[in-house]
Amino acid sequence: MSTGKAFKVLVTHPEVPQAGIDLLKENCEIIQVESLPTNRAELLEKIRGVDGVLWGGHEPLNAEVLDAAGPQLKSISTISAGIDYVDVPEVKKRKIPLGHTPTVLNTAVADLAVGLLIAAGRRFHEGRRKIETDNWENYHLNWMLGQDIRDSTVGFFGFGGIGQAIAKRLSGFDISQVLYTTRRRVHKEIEEELNAKKVDFDTLLAQSDFIVIASPLTADTQGVFNATAFNKMKQTAVLVNIGRGKIVKQHDLYLALKSNRIFAAGLDVTDPEPMLATDRLLALENVVILPHIGSATNRTRAEMATIAAHNVLRGLVGEPMLSPEQEANGAECKSLQIVLGWVGLWENFPLSISLLPLPRASSLSMSTVRAATSAAFKVLISHPNVPAPALELLRSRGAETIICQSVPPCREEILQKLPGVDAIYWAHYQPLNAGILDAAGPQLRCVSTMSSGIDFVDVPEVKKRKIPLGHTPGVVKNSVADLSIGLMIAAGRHFHAGRNDIESSQWKTELIDWRMGQEIRDSVIGFFGFGGISQAIAKRLQCWDVAKILYHTRTRKENEGEFNAEHVPFERLLQESDFLVVAAPLTDETRGKFNAKAFALMKSSAVFVNVARGGLVIQSDLHEALTKGQIFAAGLDVTTPEPLPADDPILKLPNCVILPHLGTQTMKTTIEMSLLAANNIINAIEGKPMIRPAY
């Protein structure tokens, strides 16, 4: 029976978002494939006699399908950017307009790519494994050191819409430069805006610190990342692939990662898909793998369906499609390569690193320290892994360094070596209290921790004795800010659950609404605490098209205008934030602030991130909120207790990404922290104010 509508359109997937279906229904009779996964026999039966096809999923679209449809077929559009499952020459031969949805997913995929490069470079998967195997060893200062994005060279293999969207997001991370390899140079204005330079493939491989593949799969790109390519990359390189799995020779990647020829990889695409649960890559700790969920957000999928529907309708009436297939064929080869550096142990790190610029100009480098004091002074170094540049700086100022050798630090050894020292360089989290100060003796002139937080220090006791106390708060903001954004994305986009799905053979990309995550675009970002770390995060997010930034502190920040941030009461912060980042110190006032009452006020779609201290959160209440769906997900770099026991119930939740307190764990940050602590001590010994006093 005729519906009276001009055209018949087949929708090949039962989960195509309603926005696309509603648009087609206005002028077309809709026929829909109901099977999931797609039953090809049903598809071939229902396609007979249709005028248009909206193709959902990745079932092969080939001559068999076109023959079954019949010669009246006038228009096809896929709901995807890549169309490697389409026999494009066959469709073109029959002169059927073919559309796809290449640009609408740029935002979601770019967010995921940044999340992957942070997660891989900062060892998210390996950190999780350390917790689950009771192998938490953060008493080593050089434990689990990752790669900094700051000052890195980011390389793109292909620099189309997705690559440029990634580069735009990274512009807030103070990267050094962007390199890209494409067939054609992008517009000069884009190069200038993104500080990008076109280079050949070998240069890209050799100079990049991060490499992200964002390229379509073609005869030219298939297998281009192979053993030869990996051998040309830095040993500290991180490879991210959000293009297609076959662009990488996966066996060669496995060997490069296993032999530490490159540092790490982050993959949203693999070969094959679904990836087998027995794949050798899954046995490696230095690879973060997701089940192809780059575009999996509700907003992006709805927009993709709408564009595809418009394509079909335009093709039916002979008008140009919004995104015809020719754009894909003519697209420049997209790939972002990002390589981050592992430099190993301190003794192998060049001493010149001590001249790295530190917070507030160059006042922390050796060149700014005044002439050495005539009298030598003794400094207790509480940890043997304090970076060599800091030790050399102290010695160059006349210090005798007394280094404790125990790892974990042994309190008995510390107490034995303390008597008579002039300064204490405290590089771990054991209590620094009256017992330590008494053991040192009355001649003790100063103390500096190599840490931002000092909740392990009896500050009133140190203050009562009028001993200058320093710490290293400003230095950590960049590495913690990067990690925070990584946690926002990893939690909001199902990184942990996605990995579990692969390992349990539950890869379900045939479902259009599978593993739908939360987007940062147009979201409200909330901060509990708005000091250096929160402001560093807010700075990075200025290029992410967020809706607004809210923060709660005791007093309004004078510089809030720099970040378009608004000071709000705590209740409003909870109620309005889509992503809520905790970056406040642990005090009597903040302890347990995030409890059942607080989580009940938050959105059910909210993502909660804690990079401060575990004590700010009642962890059992967070567990309940995540279990009941009161909030969407959480990303934690700090927990209660630390180390977190491997049998803690929060580790069983699929919607919680947990790290073993890795916020400051990069080589650059650790070196800079060590130098700042050393300069605090030097200044105090010379009678000058510490660079970062604790009070």
25 neighbors 6 (Cβ within 8 angstroms): no
For residue 652, count other CB atoms closer than 10 A to its CB: 10
Q: Judge if the upstream peptide bond of residue 97 is cis by omega within 30 degrees of 0.
A: no
Give the count of alpha carbons within 13 A of 341, CB side only: 16
AA letter at 600: A
- How far, in Å, CA of 210 to CA of 241, rounded? 11
- How far, in Å, CA of 214 to CA of 582, rounded? 32
494 counts as catalytic: no
528 neighbors 582 (Cβ within 8 angstroms): yes
- How far, in Å, CA of 330 to CA of 307, rounded? 19
Helix (H) / strand (E) containing 426: strand 423-426
Cα dist from 437 to 259, 413, 417, 425, 680, whole Å: 47, 15, 12, 12, 18
- How far, in Å, CA of 177 to CA of 195, rounded? 6
Region of 144 please: left (phi>0), alpha (psi -120 to 50) or beta.
left
For the chain, what's the residue count? 695
DSSP-derived secondary structure letter, 187? P
Helix (H) / strand (E) containing 115: helix 106-121
468 neighbors 690 (Cβ within 8 angstroms): yes
73 neighbors 66 (Cβ within 8 angstroms): yes
- How far, in Å, CA of 32 to CA of 13, rounded? 7
DSSP-derived secondary structure letter, 321? P
Kindly state the tokens that stand for 545: 């098209």
- How far, in Å, CA of 511 to CA of 513, rounded? 5
Quick check: helix, strand or coil at residue 412? helix
Quick check: helix, strand or coil at residue 260? coil
Quick check: helix, strand or coil at residue 168? helix
Catalytic residue among 292, 494, 496, 623: 292
Q: For residue 433, what are the contacts with CB-CB under 8 A and spacing of at least 6?
A: 457, 458, 461
Give the count of alpha carbons within 13 A of 601, CB side only: 15
AA letter at 577: S
What are phi and psi for residue 457, nearest 5 degrees? -100, 135
DSSP code per residue over 632-683: SEEEES--SSSSPPTT-GGGG-TTEEE-SS-TT-BHHHHHHHHHHHHHHHHH
Q: In the structure, how many helices (H) and strands (E) does the chain have?
A: 24, 25
- Sign of CA pseudo-dihedral 21, 23, 24, 28: positive
End-to-end CA distance of the chain: 83
Quick check: helix, strand or coil at residue 393? helix
- How far, in Å, CA of 660 to CA of 636, rounded? 9
Kindly state the tokens that stand for 328: 């894909």
DSSP-derived secondary structure letter, 510? T
- How far, in Å, CA of 426 to CA of 430, rounded? 9
Active-site annotation, residues: 292
